[in-house]
Amino acid sequence: MSDAFAVLAEPTRRLILDRLRTTECSVGELVAALGVSQPTVSKHLKVLRDAGFVASRTAAQQRIYRIDLRALRQVDDWLAPYRRLWTHHLDALERHLDRQE
């Protein structure tokens, strides 16, 4: 799991995932959308692909990238207890504020 967070810690990789969240993209489309060089995008896509966050398919002479939800589900599963803890604390704050009124 720590490897997943190391992969996601890089801002350009998060931007790539944000873009792929809504649509599949080629490297060229990602370059245009993000305003970074093709080698940079390719390097980050390789890291994301190796970590299981993106998958690709070939269309003519292009690779088209999309999010692979399996790795994101693992991150989500790891974060679930922390979300419950956060919700518990927010509920306690709400009860405290209600008592103050």
Write the pLDDT tens digit of every residue in 4-15. 899 999 999 999
For residues 2 and 5, what is the distance between their CA atoms, to the nearest angstrom?
5
- Exposure string for 80-99, b = 16+ CB within 10 A, e = fewer: eeeeeeeeeeeeeeeeeeee
Confidence (pTM): 0.80
pLDDT confidence bin for 1, thresholds 50/70/90: low
Average pLDDT, the chain: 92
Report whether pLDDT(2) > 80: no
Report whether pLDDT(93) > 80: yes
Q: Give CA torsion, residues 66, 20, 6, 82, to 10 deg.
A: -110
